[in-house]
Amino acid sequence: MTNLVDDLGQEMLYLPGTASLVQDIDKRVMVVLRDGRTLIGYLRSLDQFGNLLLTQTIERIHVRDKYGDIDRGVFLIRGENIVLCGETDFRNPKFRNLIRVTQEEILNIQAEELKEKQEKQKLLKKAFQEKGVPYYSIDEGDDAF
């Protein structure tokens, strides 16, 4: 194992793979899933497969410059569905530009955006078909995994 030095000059032990998450137990983490959802909660447990157990979990939905949170409680995440996992720091100035809205508002805004996206995809598919070129949307069908 290799020893690294953190920002304070203290030596850190590097743990490869899932073991590196042990240092984040009982810390607030943000997890991005394969389906695009973002979960924020306290990491309570993990296993050798990368499965995570989060408590006090919220699902954060971002749409343009707005965001909303939906309470999810205890959340068990299968390791193969995790794209990104890390400790969060919401004191970062980048978060100050976002506008917090209610759960109902963000769900309505998300539904409107999805509808706009689907209409755009239909027009794009029609244009491709008129040119005789097959068009496959990323959102169509099951993912490759």
Q: Which pLDDT does position 143 carry in this prediction?
A: 52
Mean pLDDT confidence for 114-131 = 90
CA–CA distance from 14 to each of 4, 21, 75, 84 (Å)?
A: 7, 11, 27, 18
CA–CA distance from 144 to each of 32, 58, 80, 138, 141 (Å)?
A: 18, 27, 13, 10, 9
Q: Which pLDDT does position 5 carry in this prediction?
A: 60
pLDDT in tens, 7-48: 666 666 666 677 778 888 999 999 999 999 999 999 999 998
Whole-model pTM: value is: 0.74
Mean pLDDT confidence for 116-130 = 90
How would residue 144 be classed by pLDDT, with cut points 50, 70 and 90?
very low
More confident residue, 134 or 51: 51
pLDDT in tens, 56-95: 999 999 898 899 999 999 999 999 999 999 888 777 776 6
Residue 112: pLDDT over 90: yes
